[in-house]
Amino acid sequence: MDLHGWVDAYLDHLRVERALAPRTVEAYARDLGKLCALAEGEGIASPEGLDAALVATYMVKLGKEGLGARSAARHLSAVRGFTRFLLRERAIEGDPAALVTRPKMARKLPKVLSFDEISRILEAPDPKTFRGTRDRAMLHVMYAAGLRVSELVGLKLADIDRKRGVVFALGKGGKRRIVPLGEPALEAVDAWLERRQAHPRALATPALFLSPRGKALTRQGVWKLLGAYARGAGVTKPSSPHKLRHSFATHLLEGGADLRSVQALLGHADIATTEIYTHLADDHVRAVYKKAHPRS
């Protein structure tokens, strides 16, 4: 059976045994059709002629055609599925796609809010009301400490140390870290704690931030209220708790903080996760240089 025949057999396998959706099978057919066309151009008509060099050439050809890394990775997945099928059916003795590396996906840079936009959101809650006082403190703490939304809603009263000016955050994997809070955040927390004391369930609920009914807030609730305050403050960019965290990290680096310190504050296990923010900080530095230097 020639290469085209084996491709047809593999597609039947995907339809019948794997029960893949018709559109998915069609995508596999298109991708493998390109592989067959390349093989024919190289004078290869049977599976035995497939080798790592041909698969690598196929991937290079896709790149030259302007295919993005994500689409190229999908094509490679189709080829790998096909070659594994050939190996299982004993049409080939070794897998020619096994050593071909997957295209590297470019990491998306996190979008951040400017300091002015952050300031407008933080000042949006009305400090004269129960909700406003709570939300003001909550937003201040979230930005000042770069907390994840799960860490924020999980805060207990005992997690705020007013004398030391820090918050104890319980992060991923149950790891606890200490993060400093600035004076504006501490003042907002003080105002909230004073108002919280008057709540009838203040002693019964250990959560730092309470709903009017005396229950801990949910992550979804924080998302909604942050979005509402952002819109009310005239911030047109999509806003979320994680965007506040991104902004926290970026603003620290722009202000001169070193990467290791930011890693510790964010609670990242791997510094490579933190390094993505350096690109944003570098962009800021270049913009400042271009604006300020007479020969930029």
- Mark out the alpha helices in the chain (DSSP H runs): 3-16, 22-41, 52-64, 69-88, 115-122, 130-145, 149-153, 183-196, 219-232, 241-254, 259-266, 271-292
**Looking at 10, 143, 229, 277, which residue is catalytic?**
277
**Looking at 107, 215, 242, 260, which residue is catalytic?**
242
Retrieve residue 47's tokens.
């599976």
**Looking at 148, 243, 246, 251, which residue is catalytic?**
148
What does the alpha-carbon distance between residue 73 and residue 67 come to, in Å, rounded to a whole number? 10
* 268 in active site: yes
Q: Which long-range contacts (CB under 8 A, 24 or more apart) does 128-135 make?
A: 130/195, 130/199, 130/212, 131/212, 133/191, 133/192, 133/195, 134/192, 134/195, 134/196, 134/209, 134/210, 135/225, 135/229
Q: What is the CA angle 172-176-179, rounded to 5?
A: 110
**Looking at 75, 196, 245, 246, which residue is catalytic?**
245
* 242 in active site: yes
* 277 in active site: yes
What does the alpha-carbon distance between residue 252 and residue 115 come to, in Å, rounded to a whole number? 11
* 172 in active site: yes
* 289 in active site: no
**Looking at 172, 176, 279, 286, which residue is catalytic?**
172
Query: CB–CB of 159/167 below 8 Å?
Result: yes
Retrieve residue 11's tokens.
């597609």
* 148 in active site: yes
Q: Which residue has the tokens 């705020």?
A: 160
Catalytically active residues are 148, 172, 242, 245, 268, 277
